[in-house]
Amino acid sequence: MKPAPFVYHRARDAVGATRLLAELGDESKVIAGGQSLVAMMNFRLARPRHLVDVGGLRELDYLRTGPDGALRVGALTTHHTVETASDERLGSGFAVLRAAMEWVGHLPIRTRGTVGGSIAHADATAEWCLLAVALDAEMVALGPGGERRIPAADFFQGYYTSALDPDELLVEVVFPRPARYAALTEFAERRGDFATVSTVVALDLRDGAVHGGRVTLGGVAPLPVRSPEAEAVLARGGPASPELFTACAGAAAAAAGPPDGVSGDGDYRAALIRELVRRACEEAVSR
């Protein structure tokens, strides 16, 4: 199929894009790499009357680290840019972002798709959405009234639904602090497909002992969710051992209550959670 008719607009700068969005209203969509939106339009799952193309705004393509230790990622930075970034450019402690990119589709998708586009699309299984929640990222949105910062915990609101207003453009994603011992892993029926279940684990690891951590799950709810039950196991602390990680994974699976879906029933998804959380814990330690 082909998309329904639409009017194409090309933004000259970020401020101009927000003016266009405000003028066109909620029947407009932003397009950059188009790796998700174009497919949805081709299947008539999305029928915007207007497309605002921001793909040429090179000022939104960057990776910046500051003296505060935060990593700032421009919304038009591609997955492949992160995948191939040097340690110096990516910053100390953000290797998990680079490693996670191997799970994003295939090379052509990673080359065209953008960080901001993935997050704004708000797919509950998308790697960037999961990383944003796990690592306490802040989304910087630009609108007619200026910038506002939205914590990841408030940004994702449901299936393909975010806190962005119709006249706002996501311009930057800020990861406030390094996550030296973190890992993302997932399972899909075929390499490059959307994940059935995915997880990010970020450990507070000191001198070989775990002093807490974060466990975030994708594919078990309409948005990426943290697992307080699994995090409670990590908070009790102890040596970074298979026993601790098995207990953490078991708590995540028992509490998640994942729904049945086309890729498997709840019991199957729970088994995936147990295995993936355990693997992510081990990979996080290996960093």
**pLDDT for position 9:** 97
The pLDDT of residue 209 is above 80: yes
**pLDDT for position 91:** 87
| Confidence band for 43, pLDDT divided at 50, 70 and 90 | very high
Question: Which residues fall within 8 angstroms of residue 40, CB to CB, at 6 or more apart?
Answer: 46
**pLDDT for position 92:** 83
What the block records as the tokens of 63 is 């990776």
pLDDT digits 0-9 by tens, 166-192: 999 999 999 999 999 999 999 998 888
pLDDT digits 0-9 by tens, 109-157: 999 999 999 999 999 889 999 999 999 999 999 999 999 999 999 999 9
| CA proximity to 232, closest of 241, 220, 244, 219 | 244
Mean per-residue pLDDT over the chain, rounded: 95
CA distance 124 to 271: 19
Higher pLDDT, 66 or 281: 281
CA distance 136 to 131: 8
Which residues partner with 209 through β-bridges? 206, 239
| Confidence band for 253, pLDDT divided at 50, 70 and 90 | very high
Higher pLDDT, 236 or 257: 236
What the block records as the tokens of 243 is 């026993």
**pLDDT for position 261:** 65
pLDDT digits 0-9 by tens, 69-105: 999 999 999 999 999 999 999 988 999 999 999 999 9
What the block records as the tokens of 132 is 């944003």
pLDDT above 90: percentage of residues in the chain? 90
What the block records as the tokens of 77 is 């930075």
**pLDDT for position 262:** 54
CA distance 216 to 114: 22
What the block records as the tokens of 40 is 């949805």
| Confidence band for 257, pLDDT divided at 50, 70 and 90 | confident
The pLDDT of residue 236 is above 90: yes
What the block records as the tokens of 249 is 């994974």
Alpha helices by DSSP H, listed for the chain, are: 14-24, 37-42, 79-83, 87-90, 95-100, 107-112, 115-121, 127-134, 152-155, 228-235, 242-256, 266-286
pLDDT above 70: percentage of residues in the chain? 98
The stretch 28-56 carries a mean pLDDT of: 95
**pLDDT for position 266:** 81
Question: Which residues fall within 8 angstroms of residue 243, CB to CB, at 6 or more apart?
Answer: none
**pLDDT for position 192:** 84
At position 80, the amino acid (one-letter code) is H
